[in-house]
Amino acid sequence: MQDNKNNATAKAFPELSPTYKDPHQYPPGVAYLDSQYVPISQAKISVLDWGFLHSDATYDVMHAWEGRLFRPELYLDRFFAGMGKLKMSIPYDRAQVLEIVMNAVALSGLKNAYVELICTRGCSPTFSRDPREAINRFMVFVVPFSSVANPEQLQRGLHVAVAERTRIPPSSVDPSIKNYHWLDLVAGLYDAYEKRAETALLLDDQGGIAEGPGFNVFIVKDGQLATPDYSVLPGITRRTVMDLCQELALSCSARALSPQELTNADEVFITSTAGGVMPVTKVNQNNIGDGLVGPICKRIQQAYWDKHTDNEWSTLVIYPDD
């Protein structure tokens, strides 16, 4: 009788069977959740978590490059600010979160790593609709470094289309809080694919250029740089480029940016933690400038990656085998 019960259980819950194999494939990596470090394949959340059910979460992404975390304090500033605006809290202070991140990167063994910090609204023990009754949940995961642009695109420049769909107005969803409300961005990607482009730039609710799926944008015209300042996430790589412009004596402003200015620019590039400074050489199938990666983009790219070995801009990770 017991064997029959076990067989029935195995059929109903195949993951409990010793022969069960997870059909999903996972990259190498490590996660921290529920106060422990686990392989990335074991990092799971409940289907009742508001982060899953309602996209009620904030997150941030930093990266390690050649074994060093790049500007972690700026990412922690934004992560804690986002939690504050969403009335979320976690039982860790900034120093403890940084320690968890450093430990997770070290345990992963990855020298070039994509590092995501997440706080979800969590679950209510009674499945209450009152968000104040939910227990907020904090987690970190570390996987191999990834880029918005692949190696070929980094070499010859991305091909981008301006999506016709409009961004959610900032009065609806605060873009300064990094969030998972990506349906507008995904819709923009499909608009871009239909235009034979590789990624998208979306418009804000006033018809200006805003941002793309996970990245900010810059233009260069007559040696002057500009980046949108409305309905955008204030990206850390965006800020880094603006900081680098000061060091390189380049003029850079954050202001409204029209679609026409984008297409008439001498150079265009996008910025993201996932890839750094990445050139754009086509917009709406038309060449930007001469259709080649521009000199100012190349100069900023080089300066950006050079800063990854600067002790004032990066923090060394101590790995178990070091």
Percent of the chain surpassing pLDDT 70: 93
The C-alpha torsion from 166 through 171 and 90 to 80, rounded to 10°, is: 80
Question: 146-192: per-residue pLDDT in tens?
Answer: 999 999 999 999 999 999 877 888 989 999 999 999 999 999 999 99
Strands (E), the chain: 30-33, 36-39, 57-65, 68-70, 113-123, 135-144, 158-166, 199-203, 216-221, 224-227, 252-254, 267-272, 276-283, 286-287, 314-316
pLDDT, residue 167, reads: 81
pLDDT, residue 9, reads: 44
From the list 86, 141, 90, the residue with the least C-alpha distance to 117 is: 141
Q: Is 234 helix (H, G, I), strand (E, B) or coil?
A: coil
Q: Which pLDDT band, with edges at 50, 70 and 90, does 260 fall under?
A: very high
Cα–Cα distance, 124 to 14 (Å, whole number): 27
Of residues 38 and 9, more confidently modeled = 38
pLDDT, residue 20, reads: 61
Whether 279 has a pLDDT exceeding 80, the answer reads yes
Q: DSSP letters of 242-310? A: HHHHHHTT--EEE----HHHHHT-SEEEEEETTTEEEEEEEETTEESTTSS--HHHHHHHHHHHHGGG-
For the beta carbon of residue 200, count every other beta carbon within 10 angstroms: 24
**Helix 72-85 to helix 236-247 angle, to the nearest 10 degrees?**
140
Average pLDDT, the chain: 93
From the list 182, 48, 174, the residue with the least C-alpha distance to 121 is: 48
Whether 11 has a pLDDT exceeding 80, the answer reads no
Least confident stretch, 46-60, 61-75, 160-174, 217-231: 160-174
pLDDT, residue 321, reads: 83
What residues does 287 pair with on adjacent strands?
282
Question: 293-317: per-residue pLDDT in tens?
Answer: 999 999 999 999 999 999 999 999 9
Question: 191-250: per-residue pLDDT in tens?
Answer: 999 999 999 999 999 999 999 999 999 999 999 999 999 999 999 999 999 999 999 999
Q: Is 188 helix (H, G, I), strand (E, B) or coil?
A: helix
Whether 5 has a pLDDT exceeding 90, the answer reads no
pLDDT, residue 43, reads: 94
Least confident stretch, 21-25, 73-77, 208-212: 21-25
Structure tokens that stand for 234 in this block = 């204030």
pLDDT, residue 3, reads: 55
Whether 12 has a pLDDT exceeding 60, the answer reads no
Domains in the chain, ordered, with CATH? 27-144 (3.30.470.10), 151-308 (3.20.10.10)
Whether 30 has a pLDDT exceeding 60, the answer reads yes
Whether 8 has a pLDDT exceeding 80, the answer reads no
Q: Which pLDDT band, with edges at 50, 70 and 90, does 25 fall under?
A: confident
Cα angle: 227, vertex 233, 235; to 5 degrees: 70
Whether 2 has a pLDDT exceeding 50, the answer reads no
